[in-house]
Amino acid sequence: MTAVTVQVWQVAVRDVAAAVVAARLTARRLRRSPVVSFAKVLGTASDDFVPTAATPRRWAALTCWREAPDPRLTRWWAQHAEEAATLSLRPLHSTGSWDGHRPFDVHLHPWDGPVLALTRSTVRPTKAVRFYRAVPAVAAELRAAGGCRVAFGIGEAPVLRQGTVSIWDSTAAMRTFAYAAPQHTRVVAATPTANWYAEELFARFALLDAQGTIDGASVT
């Protein structure tokens, strides 16, 4: 793997139905490409991070590239997006798995610049109600956190296959939230006994380059 990208697109209301089809076709095209080692095309949600906060106009793709990114594989989105952002990343830390894979090759390098944090999980059906009861308080803390530039939810399927993306000014800012926000630390501490997840992953990336906007907010 030579690069990881997160691409975010927002389409017009008239293109939402076409985007649902394009998401499936794009995912298939990416996964079949010899220059791609791992890819997900994801629905998104607002920074409320609950299923009712789904944003059907906005979509995201996470791609691990063996070679330089090939823009032809996401051409439909470039042609139809009203707003777009491209984030170029280098994995700094990753724990857990995604569909049984450990997709990110982590190479430790000093980094004091902006970072992107990615969480994703498969929530156990019997734990979903309790899990989502805990989300609003944590989401409110994140919205108020210093140093968080942009945050939004991601999802592969309604309710049970979900996650978050957040961009931070620095690792220090991200860690201040992670370890000092009371509701967040309470939920993290409860996770082993609550047994919410059938599978989970957390990854942190160096944000090497950022172009565009998400919901009107600059990602640079």
What structural domains does the chain harbor? 3-215 (3.30.70.100)
Pairing of strands 148-157, 115-123: unpaired
Evaluate if residue 110 carries a pLDDT over 90.
Answer: no
Q: What is the average pLDDT value for the chain, to the nearest integer?
A: 94
DSSP H or E segment with residue 151: strand 148-157
Evaluate if residue 133 carries a pLDDT over 90.
Answer: yes
Evaluate if residue 113 carries a pLDDT over 80.
Answer: yes
Tell me the percentage of the chain whose pLDDT exceeds 70.
100
Query: How many other CB atoms are found less than 10 A from the CB of residue 83?
Result: 15
* Closest to 157 measured CA to CA, from 6, 47, 30, 27: 27
Evaluate if residue 1 carries a pLDDT over 80.
Answer: no
**Mean predicted confidence (pLDDT) in 39-48:** 96
Give the per-residue pLDDT at 217.
83
Q: Which residues contact 32 (CB under 8 A, 6 or more apart)?
A: none
Evaluate if residue 157 carries a pLDDT over 90.
Answer: no
pTM summary value: 0.94
Evaluate if residue 9 carries a pLDDT over 80.
Answer: yes
